[in-house]
Structure 1
Amino acid sequence: MSAEWTRRKGRLGKKMAALRERVPGKLTQAVVAKRLKISEPTISRLEAGKSRPPWPTIASLLMAYQASPEDEAEVSRLWEAARQKPITIEHGKGLSPSYLAFRRDEFDADGEKAFNVGAITGLLQTPGYADALRSAAPTNIQGDEQAQRAADERRSRQQLLEGDNPLHLHVIMGEALLRQLVGGREVMIEQLEHLLTTGQRDHVTIQVVPFERGAWATSPAVLLYFPDDEPPMAYLEHAGGGETVEESHDVQGLADTFDYVAEHTALPEDASADLIGSVLNELRMDEQQPN
């Protein structure tokens, strides 16, 4: 049995901990373990989201917690959902724990919405664009081996957009990302061509906020949506790494913000493609100009 945390085991553990704490009196993990003659680590690992005990153990706990039929039904659903095995990030060596956790959650997701503020999302980056970003932050990559590992990780992540059941991606980015010469004109020409090509896929939506629309977002954020009625979650990126947000109120606030920007601030998908194409044509013309 894997002792590694997963989102779904975490939801099961959180529910079981809430049921235990709801019992009148102070029902500690130690008291429960002694009363049911099971090990205390079994309970602690369960509540920490690091294990999925056999159903008879769960059933005994539910009885001890005086769970209602509605709670039993919910726990049963969570227990079944927690059957998944954690995926392995093939090229994850050297990556932060918060990013690895995000990648595992992203692997489970069937939909993603992303605010792109400082850079185009890695899901849509060309190799040249990604290399230029890493060159601008040399402290993040040390040596050819790590550079190659980062490139392999990007390609692996981009496979989420391929196959018979691809990730549905909706990205909102500012016009500045189209015009900033990351890596130079040739690199940006290739990057913008890639955005136009990828944006034609049915499961990819790209919207652009033009300069004249003013302020629209303050920091990069990703919303992940899951199948089987799993609640969505968010991932906030910052200079020190990233932070997972799972509180429903906070996630809903980010989702409402994204939907508002998509509907009222960003250009529609077709108009966004026209703007990307316009910037691309400007870059091509500049490239043809004699020095």
Structure 2
Amino acid sequence: MPSPYVRRRRLAAEIRKLRESRGLTTDGLARLLYYSRTKVSRLENAQGRPDLTEIMDILDALEITGGQYDRLCQLAREAGQKGWWDRYGVSMGPRQKLYADLEYSANSVRDYNQTAMPAVLQAPEFISALVELDECQGRLNYVPERMAEARMRRQRELLRPGGPSYETVLDECVIHRLVVPPQAMIAQLRHMIRVVTEQNRISIRVLLHDAGIPGGFLPQSSFYLYTFAEPGDSPMAVVDTVTTDLVLTQRGEVDRYTRMYDRLRQAALSREDSIAFLEQVANRRTDETGSET
């Protein structure tokens, strides 16, 4: 199944281009269809699943026929599909659903984690510790067990045969500054080591706290990069902020984050040295706590 979100972005861009080629404003198309301007605007900004009947109305109004009509209707069908992530409702949250959606049909996923362990490589014990941290910040709006189940499902989907290649640059500060029980951190480190060791297409690179990053300014937040196998699905960057995610599809913006990632990757430890570093930290933490995790 193609990514419904990526299909929504493609459909939105094509509808906007067709409207503009007809010399219509958003208001003009809305009046032509007896729709609200908000409805047309939401569609052209890929907000929410498109309704196939509404897409057909728009194509009729824009006098689109033949193969182009059929292709756009197929895009709309794919954009409206639901994935496994939709079964989890609020327990998964819109941000995790977006990531799961993009990962499902991605050819490659790369990310820089500045303040958190990569969600697709989290151990069950670590996820439980994160729930406790979340409870410190206020009342939970999800069922912890369902959230943990969804996150582990996301990991299984990433590791499935035919899944995307995945590489993360992990800032060392996450290991030391995130206050979780020692046993949870040890379990997390060993879990990442095991997954990376067993899966050649999964890689982690640790960015040491004293590593210099030449060639420009430092990154201001965590971010994710996605590529897709189908030529019509352009590369995408997603920038992580405190309250939401900024999705970037313009070539110049994506290229800028790609160059940033390459700089971080070059400054980080190699895959092999990163595994060795994580093993050293896990062994030291085990010795300090007497844990048998």
TM over 0.5: yes
Q: Does 1:8 align with 2:10?
A: no
Alpha-carbon deviation of 1:257? 0.9
* Structure showing greater Rg: 1
- From 128, 133, 136, the counterpart of 2:130: 133
The code of the aligned residue for 2:230 comes to D
Alpha-carbon deviation of 1:52? 4.3
Alpha-carbon deviation of 1:110? 3.1
Matched residue SS, 2:157: helix
Find the counterpart in structure 2 of residue 205 from structure 1.
203
1:161 to 1:56, Cα distance in 2 relative to 1, 3 A? closer
Alpha carbons 1:115, 1:171 under 8 Å: kept: yes
Alpha-carbon deviation of 1:123? 0.6
Structure-1-length-normalised TM-score: 0.77
Moved over 6 A (4+): 54-59
Alpha carbons 1:193, 1:280 under 8 Å: kept: yes
Q: State how far apart, in whole Å, the 1-side matches of 2:205 and 2:282 are.
A: 16
Alpha-carbon deviation of 1:170? 0.6
Find the counterpart in structure 1 of residue 29 from structure 2.
29
Matched residue SS, 1:93: helix
The code of the aligned residue for 1:193 comes to R
Q: State how far apart, in whole Å, the 1-side matches of 2:73 and 2:253 are.
A: 25
Alpha carbons 2:205, 2:270 under 8 Å: kept: yes
- From 222, 225, 235, the counterpart of 2:224: 222
Q: Does 1:86 align with 2:82?
A: yes
Q: State how far apart, in whole Å, the 1-side matches of 2:12 and 2:52 are.
A: 9
Structure-2-length-normalised TM-score: 0.77
Q: State how far apart, in whole Å, the 2-side matches of 1:209 and 1:25 are.
A: 50
Matched residue SS, 1:212: coil
The code of the aligned residue for 2:270 comes to P
Alpha carbons 1:123, 1:157 under 8 Å: kept: yes
Q: State how far apart, in whole Å, the 2-side matches of 1:25 and 1:211 are.
A: 53
Alpha-carbon deviation of 1:269? 0.9
Q: 5+ residue gaps in structure 1?
A: 34-38
Q: State how far apart, in whole Å, the 2-side matches of 1:95 and 1:56 are.
A: 32
Find the counterpart in structure 1 of residue 97 from structure 2.
100
Q: State how far apart, in whole Å, the 2-side matches of 1:63 and 1:195 are.
A: 54
> Which stretch shows the higher mean deviation, 140-149 or 198-207?
140-149
1:86-130 CA distances to partner (integer Å, 9 max, x unpaired)? 314222325543443343233332321111111111111112222
Q: State how far apart, in whole Å, the 1-side matches of 2:131 and 2:106 are.
A: 27
The code of the aligned residue for 1:29 comes to L
1:149 to 1:25, Cα distance in 2 relative to 1, 3 A? closer
> Which stretch shows the higher mean deviation, 78-87 or 241-250?
78-87
Q: Does 1:169 align with 2:166?
A: yes
Alpha-carbon deviation of 1:9? 3.1
Alpha-carbon deviation of 1:51? 3.5
In the TM superposition, 1:1-291 aligns within 5 A as: 6-24=5-23, 28-29=28-29, 33=33, 44=40, 47=44, 49=46, 50-52=50-52, 80-84=74-78, 85-89=81-85, 90-138=87-135, 142=139, 146-180=143-177, 182-200=179-197, 201-214=199-212, 216-229=218-231, 230-262=233-265, 264-288=266-290
The code of the aligned residue for 1:274 comes to A
Matched residue SS, 1:18: helix
1:25-66 CA distances to partner (integer Å, 9 max, x unpaired)? 769315765xxxxx758x9486465144699878756656xx
Matched residue SS, 1:165: coil
The code of the aligned residue for 1:173 comes to L
CA RMSD of aligned residues (A): 3.5
> Which stretch shows the higher mean deviation, 91-100 or 248-257?
91-100
> Which stretch shows the higher mean deviation, 218-227 or 137-146?
137-146
Alpha carbons 1:134, 1:141 under 8 Å: kept: no
1:121-151 CA distances to partner (integer Å, 9 max, x unpaired)? 1111112222222222316674697211221
Q: State how far apart, in whole Å, the 1-side matches of 2:145 and 2:171 are.
A: 29
Alpha carbons 1:189, 1:280 under 8 Å: kept: yes
